[in-house]
Each structure stands twice: as structure tokens, then as C-alpha cells.
Structure 1
Amino acid sequence: MPRDPLIGLVGKPSSGKSGIRSVPIELLDVAGLVPGAHQGKGLGNKFLDDLRHADALIHVVDVSGTTDAEGKATRGYDPSVDIVWLRSEIVNWILGNLMQKWGGLKRRHIAIKATAVETLQNQFSGYGSNSAIVARTLDKMQLKQPLQDWTDDTIASVVNHFVDEKFPTVIALNKIDHADSDKNVAKIAKMEKPERLVLCSAISEVFLRRLVKQGFVRYIPGSEFVDTRDDLIEQGEADGGGLKEMDEKLKQRIENLKDMVLYRFGSTGVNQVLTRASELLGLVPVFPVRNIGTFGGGEAGGGGGGEKAAVFRDCVLVKKRSTVGDVYRKVMGDAPLAYVETVGGVRVSEEDEVGVGKNDILSFKVGRA
């Protein structure tokens, strides 16, 4: 199974100082899927087995309608269908496995007087689940009847809620700059929760990153801005930032990309897909720094070899409701902790929670208090 590291932008410092930090994530490029996968069609079994290793799913949808359900080139295809049947395949895979064992599972549940969480976790562990995920699933459903009295409809509902909890999904609506995309985006937007949708143009992102490597543009992934040599000269950089001169054809391509993607949608959307996935998982970016004054690793004010610019040294992702102490142990391990400071040199407790804009910039002082 390919596992490709990718850098995703996750946040900006909440204090107003400049800087963006990235964190590495792992993308699992899973096998392709066709309708009927839960019955073993195509590479269905491989795809569904791959899902066990994922914390979140990114479903890339060709919103231009130029690719059908089997990946063949076409025109006028309704991409909303892909969203429906993909979820259906996952649900039917889990539901089918569960129903095959339900009779024996129910008898054992009664005999050992297990809780519903215990019984379901025994079945769902193979999908990468844990007891907390199962418990959240049942809590949200607020079921009153005991497991042995569940109807087929109740079991199907449990599986649907479990899929939502175990496989939070971002739907990346790709090829947004295609002429046929607007109507498809509008249809899908009526079907899905807005927090699940991200508009993107992967080919635009690839193009811009290639130009950066070739020295033609200045571009930060996830940004709505791209600067050419001419742009930087206009902004006062006499040498144009050291960028190469472009021919008229390349200049026009960049202007078209700006108009069709960056100015219209605010970015190519590729990095936003990764950020949205971390948000669905409830992950919080926290910035551990050595110097709380510069947000860097040296001494304040740049003296003694310290850092002159305010820049984050690192970023880690932690789960919601994590404490300062949880972050410390993730970063520093078992080293003794003297005290912790946040923005302004304010001391915080190990029991204080972290969140976006709350104790998310931390300086740990190692030693005995």
C-alpha cells in the first residue's frame, strides 16, 4: 500500500505575529472502487480493507462530470451519484459482515451479560475501531432498547452512525475550473453538509508547485496569491525576487489560473482539503516554542545567536480537549517539567486545555519547579 508523506498547512499564529507552519501527514492511496465493491467486484475487498488504517477519508470527486463511476471518460455524468454509492458500499460492507454473525453474537451477548459497547467493539475492532468510537456512536443515537431487541432497521441505523463516527469524510470537489462544474457543485451543496465539502483544482496546485521549483513564481501552498517577477518588481523588489523571466504564453496561463481559480475560489483548495480533514477529526494545532517572545528557538530580540524574526519552530496536532500536560508528554516525553508559559509569558497549568487560540503556543521549561 503506498504511503505518501504530504505537508499540510494547518494554521496561523493566533497572536497576530506572522508565520505559517506545516505538519507532515500520511496519505494512504487506496485501491480503486466501483459499485458492488462490498460484493467483491473490482478491487472492492482491497479498498475496503485499506479503510481500516485510515483516521479520515478524502473522497475526490470529479465535479466536472467528465469521468463516470468506473473511471471512464464521458461528458454530462452526475458526480453526486458517486458520493451516494461510495458511502453505500462502506455501510453495506460492515452491515453485511455484522448480519452474518448477528444470531450467534446476540446469544453470546445475553449469555455473558455484556454491554452493547463491548459486543459491538468485538465486531468493529477489525475496522480500526475502539470502545470510545462505539460509545460515541451509541450515545448520539440514544437507543433505549437492549441490543438483543434491536430490529434490522435499528442495526442498519447503528452501522450508519458508526460509519459517520469512524470514517469522517471530506469530499474534495475537483476540477472546479471546468465549464460544467458549477451546476454539479450546486447540486452537491444541497445534498451534503458544508463542512464536508471543499472546492479544489488539483491540476492548478501541481502547476504552481512546478513553477516554484523552476524559479518562475513565488507561491505558498494554500494561498490565494502567486507572484511573478513582474509582480515583485512592482512591489518594490528591484531584482524581482530573483525569479526567472517568463514568456507571454506562460504569463497568460498564470493570469487565467488566477482568474478561474485563485481569485474566484480563494485558493486551489488542495491544502484546505487536508486542513478540513484535521478539523473533522477534532485535531488542534499547537505550537511548542523555546522562546515565547519570538515564537522561535533563540533568545528574544535576536541577541546571542537568537532568532530575529518571529517564526514558529514546530507544530503538533493533538485531539480536542487535550491538556497542556498531554502536549508536553507528546513533545518532551518523560523529562521533568518545571513550568509552562503561553503568549505574554503567562504561566499555565498542566491541567489547562489547549484549543485554537487558547494555550496553542507553549514554551516548556524542563527541570524541577
Structure 2
Amino acid sequence: MLVGVVGKANVGKSTFFKALTLANVQIENYPFATIKPNHGMGYVRLECADKFFNVQCNPREGYCIKHNRFVPVDLIDVAGLVPGAYEGKGMGNQFLDDLRQADVLIHVVDASGGTNELGEPVTPGSYDPCNDIRFLEIELDMWYLRLIKKGWDRFARAVQQEKDHKEKIVKDIAKHLSGLKVNEEIIEDVLSKLDLDRNNISSWGEEDLKKIAIELRKKTKKMIIAANKIDVPVAKENLEKMKKEFPNYLIIGCSAESELALKEASKNGLVEYTPGDKDFKILEQEKLNEKQKNALNFIKKNILDVFENTGVQQIINSAVFDLLKYIAVFPVGVKLSDSDGNILHDCFLMPQKTTALDFAYRLHTDFGNNFIKAIDVKKRITIGKEHPLENRDVIEIISGK
């Protein structure tokens, strides 16, 4: 799974990325500050299974704070986007190519309206952030269209000449567009919705292909909107406007700067803060200078007391669990620990509808090939290979040799 963090320059995208990862990325206030793609590791938060068993886990990857498990997720933050990127303007081609493999997009916008269409700082409230949502949709749609049109005429003629081409068209198109991570089910849904003439694929014109591009983008590039800089007064009004104009998107207000400040303060031992919490505790009051005290007071008064959290953790959680519909599964034995005494050492993020057999293969090919049964450790029941797993299940796989 790869989560793409996207958006134009100067909306706080790199700050958002660093708030998720604390990676050492370049954060500057000018277009194209992020020159090369930055890969990092973010974390989704969930209630750890150790709470159910009244034990303390020790994760192999990620970490756990007071029964809150943070499971790693791959992130990519790519170069700033400008209108016309699909035509090669700015660093558009690199941007779009880097996002090709992203499973879900977090689109960071400046909710304060303080960054214009070129990524240049302007007076807050003077620019409509709704334009950013529209322009990214257009850029992605036109990119998809360009990929679809590549070799389309020759492809369409070849399909048209096939025997029983109407029955094979879905399979042929899925194969032709495999680079867009589509499958036959997606193609069938799109063609059925658009009601195109399957008997004469060569008759599909530019507008037909554009409609296909739009529908494919919607199905293959799920997107959540991170309405950043929510602490600026005009941002709350813009947030409601975006939600009204784009009801099909999940739009969440956030303050990346606040999340980053709290994480760095926590890292330096100044405060106790768990990402996603609605409050923090100052640990070393005497070590804080006046500027730091004012910053923490501002975050509490204008962010946490108003919105209950900074929004950053909520956004990555929503991207993984709400849009992609992933679930978290813990592989253990009935003793909850491995041979070295590690308790609930692993936690895997799995696609929705994952079965016990799917999970066995995720752990090791031999476990899948020699699968005998699985045990739901929480319920203490045996489950079969086709049993669908649920979020936060604790599963033991029993396999032969």
C-alpha cells in the first residue's frame, strides 16, 4: 500500500508530510521546494489488541502508546503541481509518474485561501481553495485520458476485428490499461455506467474516452482532502464551502504545523502527546521559553479545544481505513508471544474481505500452501480458510509441513 501526499506548492504539503513522518524533508516557502520525491513512513493509529488481553505489546515495527498501536504505512510526497501539469508544465510529468502507483491520495489544500493557483502566497481569503480540488481532478483526468489515448486507435481496430469482440472487450480494455491498475471488474462497471456501444469500439470519440478517464480516476485514485491551515480564521468558512461543493469527498480540517510542533516537543521531552489525542501534557514547564509557551497555548486554544485534534492523524487513518477499507490483523499463537517472548510483535494492514487463507499467504507462502486451519484467539474458536477476517482480529495459523 502506498499513500500519496499531493498538492500545489506552499499549501503546507511538506509540513504535513513531516508531521506524519518527522522525516528530514525540505520545507521552504517557494514553488517547487520539494525537488525530488520524498518517501517516508507514516503511521495509522488503532486500539491495540494488547488492551483486550491486558498485556503490554512490544511491536517489531511501529510503536504502541497506552494501548494505541501505530502501524507503519508507506508515504510519498512529490514535487509541487501547477495547472497544466499533464502537458508537462512545472514538474508535472514527474509528479504524475511518481503518483502512478499510489493507492490513495491525500490532497493538501490551503484552506485559508492564502496561496494562489501558481503556489504563490497571497492575502488569506483572496483565493478560493475549491479551485485546487477542481484543478487536481482535471490534471488527473487529462493524465488518464492521455494514457488511454496512447495507441488507442490501433488497439480499437484490433479489438474490432476479433471474433466475439463484444464478449472480450472488457478483458481486452483491462489489459490495455493495466498501467492504471484497473481490472476487469472496474472496466465492466465503467462501461455499464456510461452505456457505450460495445459493438463498435472504434466509434468511441474523444468525449467518450474522456468520460472513461474520469470514471477510472474516481475508482482507482481515491482521494481525501486535507484542509490545512485551519487555524486561520477564514479557513473554517472555506472548509464548510468545500464540503458543500464537494459532498462526495471526505474533507477534514487540519493544522500540520500544530501537529509537527507537538511531535517535536514530545520528541524533546517537553510534552506528553500521543498523535491524534485531543490534548497534551506539559512535562518540563521550566524548560519552555516564552515563544514555546505561547505556541503551545495557541495550539490548545485554537486547534485542540476547537477541533479536538490537529486533524493530521485523523486524515491518514481515514485514508487507510475509510477509503481503502483496510483492516489490521495481529498474527500470534494462543500464548500471544513468539519463541523469543515478544508479545503481539506484528500487526499487518490487510485489504477488506481478507480471508484466513489470504492472511496465511501474507505471513509466508508455506503457511498458505500447507494451511490446515486458523484460530480466532480472541473468541477461542477455529475458523476455516474462507473465513473473512475483521479489524483487530488476533489470528493463529495452523499449517502442515
Q: 2: CA distance between counterparts of 1:213 and 1:46?
A: 34
C-alpha distance in structure 1 between counterparts of 2:333 and 2:150, whole Å:
56
**Unaligned stretches of 5+ in structure 1?**
231-242, 300-304
CA gap of 1:284–1:50, structure 2 versus 1, over 3 A, is same
Counterpart of 2:266 in structure 1 is 212
Of the three residues 297, 310, 325, the one matched with 1:268 is 310
Give the 3 Å change call, closer, same or farther, for CA 20–195 of structure 1 in structure 2: farther
Cα deviation, 1:101-154, whole Å, max 9, x if unaligned, reads 443332111112443323322442233444454344445x26363134545443
Q: TM-score, normalised by structure 2?
A: 0.76
Contact kept? 1:328, 1:364, Cα under 8 Å = no
Q: Does 1:320 align with 2:352?
A: yes
The residue aligned with 2:128 is 78
Quote how far apart the aligned CAs of 1:260 are: 1.2
Matches for 1:88-167 after TM superposition, within 5 Å: 88-99=138-149, 101-113=151-163, 114=165, 115-138=168-191, 141=193, 143=195, 145-146=197-198, 147-167=201-221
Other-structure match for 2:328: 285
For 2:224, the aligned partner's letter is V
In 2: Cα distance, 1:319 partner to 1:44 partner: 31
User: In the TM superposition, what is the alpha-carbon distance from 1:187 to its structure 2 partner?
Assistant: 1.0
Match of 1:49 in 2: 97
Alpha-carbon separation, structure 1, partners of 2:196 and 2:206: 15
In 1, Cα distance between the equivalents of 2:189 and 2:236?
37
Equivalent residue, structure 2, for 1:37: 85
Q: Which amino acid aligns with 1:347?
A: T
Given the two structures, how large is their TM-score scaled by the length of structure 1? 0.82
Code of the residue aligned with 1:71 in structure 2: it is: G
Deviations 1:48-85 (A, max 9, x none): 22221211111110111111111111011111101101
Q: Supply the distance in 1 between the matched residues of 2:187 and 2:49 (Cα, whole angstroms).
A: 34
Give the total of aligned pairs.
342
Q: Calculate percent identity across the aligned residue pairs.
A: 30
Q: Secondary structure at the match of 1:222?
A: coil
1:174 matches 2:194: no
Contact residue 86 and residue 142 of structure 2 kept, 8 A:
yes
Matched, 1:9 2:39: no
Counterpart residue number, 1:240: none
**Alpha carbons 1:9, 1:20 under 8 Å: kept:** no
Q: CA deviation at 1:166?
A: 1.2
Work out the CA distance in 2 between the residues paired with 1:328 and 1:195. 35
Give the whole-Å Cα distance in 2 for the aligned partners of 1:110 and 1:208: 60
Q: CA deviation at 1:276?
A: 1.6
Which amino acid counterpart does residue 323 of structure 1 have in structure 2? T
Separation of aligned partners in 2, 1:262 and 1:290: 40
Q: 1:266 to 1:117 in 2, by over 3 A?
A: farther
